[in-house]
A and B are shown apart, each in its own frame.
Chain A
């Protein structure tokens, strides 16, 4: 790898041992993917929670902080394991909360702003076209790349810390023009009509393209998708397919035409989304039993408008006494929802508004053990995908059906 004089200084230890070690790790991963140089980044989004990090990861961060490491670029944080105000009520342990407080103290001491949201791009840090970023959350990365035209790879846990400390990442993958070009044409004949339909579309394609280095190009779409629709499309593509980039012809900035999206090359393959394709995605999630233990909205974090819509649907209604309804969002969106009365309507129905967390990061295995949760209904195809690893029976449905499941306590067969 070709390094600048400043970068050679980092490698010689001039910025301290934690920065040198971080830089070494970045170079090793970068060379694996053939990176020839480093590129400066303007923002880092840290991903790490005590559950996935374990004691080893916590010690790693303690060591960085203890040796005086400090973040050199604006640095934000992804959702955590607990909502500090509600974890007892939800049945999470003091130990989990204690570890989370410890981690928060460390990253704040190093200079992070603990926004604890995966939808940072909708709230605290809207990325701009061409901006190089070091973001960890895969849904945030694919949104930044595809919708904003910014440039980031998946900078997983330690890599996001490394980038925040060095202010750089290795220039490979989504930082390079050639890796952002379309590879597969997605011919959409089954039009997505709701936000969850966009998630179903992402699931349909993400199940077929399971490789970080593939880039789907959606053509034939009639609607002008909202930011929330593209949020669901991106998050599901990243979740099912580990994809970091997509194009929607006529919508996203690097795809004014099909030809531009593919850089003048022919697609390797065309995938047809024929009528009935999206309904088939919903149907692929089958309830084992009728009773619903849990209904969850907010993967990725809900926008203010999504909270408002849910408040409208829940107003004057009552959640089934044996069903738990959770909405996850950033503290910022919750504060606005409080102000506009959405929180009151949702809480009056029996729903819980929780902040800074995401259900699959909320120690779901422990919650399942404590409450006997098995059947989970959600309008997030991403959550439905991940939560299966934690012993749940996930049912992905459109938003109004999820609301009805919360009220009736019963899941709907499609």
Chain B
């Protein structure tokens, strides 16, 4: 998490890993992946003011979702998430996009209201192929996600 997103053009010409699925919601988004092994709910896990994970037992405790491509196995929890994404977005604390193994209705409703890209049920499973720090480009309408692994990106660039 101490690796900051690199400037655009950081892909070094390497070919991305491609994930495909049904069309998602929201527009094209690009950013650095933050992968959560645990499920996620904006009420159960998040400090809405700070935009950081505030549940002490959560694997990403203390981390910020802001501007990240958030990758997560399942959407948890209740109605608050449907408001929270707009709330986060207005204060510049929202993720750039969200990729789930399985989304639930409140997460999708929240993404639609906030205009945040969201996709689920992708092949291959994003939890298997995306790692924190990877560069990710999400194109929901096309049902396509491109991933440039962090290590490959480093190899592809002169130090």
A interface list, Cβ under 8 A from B: 25, 28-29, 31-34, 47-48, 51-57, 60, 78, 136-138, 153-160, 173, 210-213, 238-239, 241-242, 360, 365, 385-386, 388-391
Most buried by B among A34, A156, A242: A156
> Using a Cβ–Cβ cut-off of 8 Å, how many residues does chain B contribute to the interface with A?
46
Decide: B90 and A158 in contact? CB cutoff 8 A: no
Decide if the interface of chain A is mainly helix, strand, loop or mixed.
Answer: helix
- Interface hit among B12-20, B106-114, B149-157: B106-114
Within the assembled complex, what's the spacing in Å between the Cα atoms of A386 and B60?
17
A–B pairs, 28, beta carbons within 8 Å: A29-B112, A32-B25, A34-B22, A47-B80, A52-B42, A52-B48, A53-B87, A54-B84, A56-B83, A56-B90, A60-B86, A137-B79, A138-B79, A155-B79, A156-B80, A156-B105, A156-B109, A158-B109, A159-B105, A173-B105, A210-B73, A211-B74, A212-B75, A242-B39, A242-B41, A242-B77, A360-B43, A386-B77
Decide if B54 is an interface residue (CB 8 Å cutoff). Answer: yes
Closest residue on chain A to residue B119 by CB atoms: A32
Within the assembled complex, what's the spacing in Å between the Cα atoms of A60 and B115?
14
Within the assembled complex, what's the spacing in Å between the Cα atoms of A40 and B112?
21
Decide: B83 and A57 in contact? CB cutoff 8 A: yes
Instruction: State whether A389 and B55 are in contact (beta carbons under 8 Å apart), knowing that A55-B90, A242-B76 are contacts in the complex.
Output: yes
Decide: B25 and A158 in contact? CB cutoff 8 A: no
Decide: B83 and A157 in contact? CB cutoff 8 A: yes
Decide: B79 and A78 in contact? CB cutoff 8 A: yes
Instruction: State whether A156 and B76 are in contact (beta carbons under 8 Å apart), knowing that A388-B57, A389-B46, A391-B54 are contacts in the complex.
Output: no
Decide: A156 and B81 in contact? CB cutoff 8 A: yes
Decide: B76 and A210 in contact? CB cutoff 8 A: yes
A78 to chain B, nearest CB (A): 7
Instruction: A156-B83, A159-B106 given; name 18 further pairs at CB < 8 Å.
Output: A32-B22, A32-B103, A33-B108, A48-B79, A52-B43, A54-B86, A138-B77, A154-B105, A156-B81, A156-B82, A158-B110, A212-B75, A242-B75, A360-B43, A386-B43, A388-B44, A389-B54, A390-B54
Decide: A158 and B105 in contact? CB cutoff 8 A: no
Decide: B78 and A54 in contact? CB cutoff 8 A: no
Instruction: State whether A52 and B87 are in contact (beta carbons under 8 Å apart), knowing that A29-B112, A211-B74, A239-B78 are contacts in the complex.
Output: yes
Residues of chain B in range 11-43 having any CB-CB distance to chain A below 8 Å = 22-25, 39, 41-43
Closest residue on chain A to residue B114 by CB atoms: A56
Closest residue on chain A to residue B107 by CB atoms: A156
